[in-house]
Amino acid sequence: MRRRPQRALLGVGVSGALVLGGAPAAAGPAAATPGSDGCPTSGDQAETLGTRAVVDWLNGRAKGYDANGVPVTAGWTTGAVGMTGVSYNGTLPNQVATTGVPGLRTIVPVAAISSWYDHYRANGLVVAPGTFQGEDTDVLARFTAGRARAEGPCADEIAELTAEQDRVTGDYTPFWRDRDHLDARNVRASVFVVHGLNDWNVKTEHFAGWWDELARRDVPRKIWLHQGGHGGPGSTASVTLPDGRTWIYKQTENRWFDHWLWDVPNGIMDEPTAVLQREDRAYTTYANWPDPGARDVALKLAATDAAAPGTLGTRRPPRSTVEQSFVDEGRTIHPDTLVADPDTASPHRLAYRSPVLTRDVRISGRPEMRLRMAIDNKPDANLTAYLVDYGPAGTTAAPTVVTRGWMDPQNRKDPSRTQPLRQGKLYDYRWTLEPKDHVSRRVTGSVWSSSPAIRSTPCCRSAGRGCAWRRTTANCVSPWSEDGPFSDSEPPGRSAG
């Protein structure tokens, strides 16, 4: 009796194996992890090609050996491969897919990195993933390798990571370019992207940037976004489709693999492209993400008093607009405190409040901050911007941080190039906050300098008075999925003035 060759589901990563839907599974530990040889390189092309070799072996194009050095082949599989994993284990499928390796039919990256620069840096600033302050490529490499290997045969390679990652300037260098996987020109596999909208470890720009590139290259794709943090939505999360059928997440994942590995005509590609969990924890579907109905709306950040909080809206700023300023205390005052009461002035942050809206508005995409500011007393500083939801009128609930973003003013023109600042000179700054999908009734844009997520600049570590910022004009451009009821008389603009 001859056994029928099977498709393979491949779990490749730093730990764990893969069992999914009863399909044959192969677990391929990444370089320098338990069960593998070599030294860690944290996301570069060597790591990518090492992982790709497993797909080549499953397709008979690479040699494999058991622990005794005996050649081993994968005669049990047809070579049709799917890859999946969470976090680092989901990042490796992204990386391998960019090589266009034959035989890789589909990937399901969950909470996965697409650019390692975006994981550890933001517009020239050194930014920690989540609460892991101080983590960088070298710290991750030591963790994945284990102490014996990290302090022994891999010590030189890890020391090279420490030297080249550059925690001084935060610039985008060839080191980071080698770890940038936002290029889908060679992708042959279909991609089912899964990510948490409140993931501050592997931040939302990772799924959004990858999704944009997949769309640009017309890669077959589907996306599932949930309201959780770092990880998947949970196997029992369920969505009801427009035709009335209800599927849980695990069924959806299995149907995806059934279609792309076994060619099952189950109609999954005819269903809505985007599944998204709303704030009430109910799932719904959309034709795509961001919402195709979203359009850019320019919100003016205006103030008529040098100290009082300002306004956020579509109306033209008053002629009597004044300069406002704040002094950096981000290392001693937590962001929760800075955003707690937007109606009260603070010497350590600026706040610009929308009116309480009469109906819901939805942000779907990347908000962008545009500021004209000066640093009055230091050669450099940090810039942090938050978009915060304070809920409908009368609510007593704590504010919700919708999204946030960071910038090094010295990288105002290019993340690859540090340009010195002149103290007291006004410069224009423009950067995007982390992508988001959120429904709100009242939002506030807040701006300050340092944040627990970013490494201190020399300015912010100095004794005495912190960085003194001065602002003259500002705009926030947000992708709203409807007109946005900030003004009944003036239609929202498409771009900032």
According to CATH, the topology of domain 295-480 is: Jelly Rolls (2.60.120)
pLDDT: which is higher, 305 or 284: 284
Known catalytic residue: 199?
A: yes
Q: How confident is the model at residue 490 (pLDDT cuts 50, 70, 90)?
A: very low
What single letter denotes the amino acid at residue 244?
Answer: G
Residue 31 and residue 158: Cα distance in Å, rounded? 13
* Mean pLDDT score of the chain: 86
Strands, DSSP E only, in 14-76? Answer: 25-29
- Opening angle at CA 431, ends 424 and 111, nearest 5: 140
Question: Which is catalytic among the residues 87, 364, 446, 451?
Answer: 87
Instruction: Please tell me the predicted confidence (pLDDT) of residue 448.
Output: 82
Q: How confident is the model at residue 307 (pLDDT cuts 50, 70, 90)?
A: confident
Known catalytic residue: 87?
A: yes
Residue 483 has pLDDT above 50, yes or no: no
Residue 494 has pLDDT above 60, yes or no: no
**Does the reported pTM lie above 0.75?**
yes
Instruction: Please tell me the predicted confidence (pLDDT) of residue 454.
Output: 55
Each residue's pLDDT tens digit, 49-103: 999 999 999 999 999 998 899 999 988 888 899 999 999 999 999 999 999 999 9
Instruction: Please tell me the predicted confidence (pLDDT) of residue 453.
Output: 60
- Opening angle at CA 42, ends 209 and 201, nearest 5: 50
- Are 60 and 77 spatial neighbours (Cβ–Cβ below 8 Å)? no
Question: Which is catalytic among the residues 171, 199, 212, 437?
Answer: 199
Residue 435: phi, psi to the nearest 5?
-55, 150
DSSP three-state, residue 52 = helix
CA distances to 289, 320, 376, 387, 409 from 464, in Å: 47, 33, 14, 29, 21
- Are 354 and 388 spatial neighbours (Cβ–Cβ below 8 Å)? no
Instruction: Please tell me the predicted confidence (pLDDT) of residue 263.
Output: 94
Please identify which residue in the block is written with the tokens 């007593």: 396
Q: How confident is the model at residue 34 (pLDDT cuts 50, 70, 90)?
A: confident
Instruction: Please tell me the predicted confidence (pLDDT) of residue 356.
Output: 85
Ranges in the chain annotated CATH 2.60.120.260: 295-480
Question: Which is catalytic among the residues 119, 195, 230, 259?
Answer: 230
Lowest mean pLDDT among 185-189, 202-206, 254-258, 332-336: 332-336
Residue 113 has pLDDT above 50, yes or no: yes
CA distances to 17, 19, 241, 427 from 152, in Å: 27, 34, 54, 48
- Are 245 and 102 spatial neighbours (Cβ–Cβ below 8 Å)? no
What is the percent of the chain with per-residue pLDDT over 70, rounded to a whole number? Answer: 86
Residue 384 has pLDDT above 80, yes or no: yes
According to CATH, the topology of domain 6-286 is: Rossmann fold (3.40.50)
Instruction: Please tell me the predicted confidence (pLDDT) of residue 360.
Output: 85
Residue 117: phi, psi to the nearest 5?
-65, -45
Residue 175 has pLDDT above 80, yes or no: yes
Ranges in the chain annotated CATH 3.40.50.1820: 6-286
> From the CB of residue 236, how many other CB atoms can be counted at a distance below 10 Å?
9
